[in-house]
A and B are shown apart, each in its own frame.
Chain A
Amino acid sequence: MTRHERVAQIVHRYEVDTLGAPFKVFVLDCVTKKVDPETGKVFTTIPDLVGLIQAVVRSRVTHPRKLNGAELKFIRNALGIKANTVATFFDMSPEHLSRCESGAKVMSSLTEKTYRLMMFLASFHPNPEELLLDAENGEEIAEDMEKKVKRPEQIAKKFVEHFLTMRIDAAYDAAEELCFEFSKEPLGPTDSDRPTDDDEPEWEPKLVCCGGR
């Protein structure tokens, strides 16, 4: 914090409504707000925004509720993948993907499951678009993932856990809004409590339901 700013206050439950997600995302106990006396503006500080965006994507693709058009588009955008790349990878025309994302068409369950699988995997890659392009070009993505991704064994375990048993839930109460809460373990006050690069705490997701049932 610069000398111009007042003391930051931690927000207990902060709704990240500026993320662009078509469902609710809350962050617990690690977002701070502070006033800049020069401009009088209130500034919100989110730690590890990149990690949070990836965690939001993972939470949604592992939730069994069928993805609607806005969610398909959000997941693709959140990972920074161009529509053409996704359409080519999933063997569909860009027009069909566009219709699925606008809600005019429904993505088939099989394609949706593959979409979820690939987006889950891509969310761990430093450049998700590159991963899809490499896979499309028949390159060895397993080796690439091992090199570029931290803890590949854990990812593989999560991958299997989530998707082997997943059934997409196409019938659900539309009034029940999806809400995800995320928290991050606070750092200890001394240097010895600080995690190293490899054990930096990840965003801990939790599903909560808003409204409806």
Chain B
Amino acid sequence: MPPQPQRLFKIETIWIREYATTYLPTEAGFSFSDEDLRASGITLVAVKHMLSRGRVVFADKLDAPGAIWVVEGPDSEDNWYRATIRVISENLDVTLMEIEPTKREEPNKKVATE
């Protein structure tokens, strides 16, 4: 069986990059668990930059409102992370469910926004 083409989550990638670089209205929030973030040692600044430079590698609609996306990307120091986020795009609501350091993306891998 030939390998299946890798799905590129272009729209999701553009959306999350815009979200992480734009001033947002007061009612749009970014949610996270203080405890998890402190335990990981990853800062909100690093999270913001990895979301604004990263790409969505997985997306799945939830039964409840919103979707789960997995984003991989580097912060401004080129440290790579993989974040699982819950997104309710109509409310501009993003919740960080999980984040962990990951290996740098292979340079020959296709980038979603290409």
Q: Enumerate chain A interface residues (CB-CB to B < 8 A).
A: 2-4, 16-20, 30, 32, 34, 41-51, 53-54, 74, 76-78, 80-83, 126-127, 184-187, 195, 200-201
Contacts and interface: CB of A to CB of B under 8 A. Distances in A.
A112 B22 CA distance: 28
A127 B65 CA distance: 32
A91 to B, nearest CB: 21
Contact of B44 (A20, A184, A195): A20
Contact of B29 (A46, A126, A185, A195): A46
Interface string B50-67: 001100000000001110
A77 B76 contact: yes
A28 B93 CA distance: 20
B88 A43 contact: no
B34 A44 contact: yes
Contacts of A46: 29-31, 44
B24 A18 contact: no
B44 A82 contact: no
Given A47-B26, A50-B24, A77-B45, 16 more contacts: A2-B66, A3-B64, A3-B65, A17-B38, A43-B31, A43-B32, A43-B95, A44-B31, A44-B34, A46-B30, A47-B25, A49-B48, A77-B46, A78-B45, A81-B76, A82-B76
A4 B36 CA distance: 20
12 contacts: A17-B38, A20-B45, A30-B26, A42-B35, A45-B30, A46-B31, A48-B25, A49-B24, A53-B45, A77-B77, A81-B76, A200-B25
B23 A18 contact: no
Interface of B: 20-38, 43-46, 48-49, 52-53, 64-66, 75-77, 88, 95
Contacts of B29: 32, 45-47
Most chain A CB within a 10 A radius of its CB, from B26, B27, B36: B26
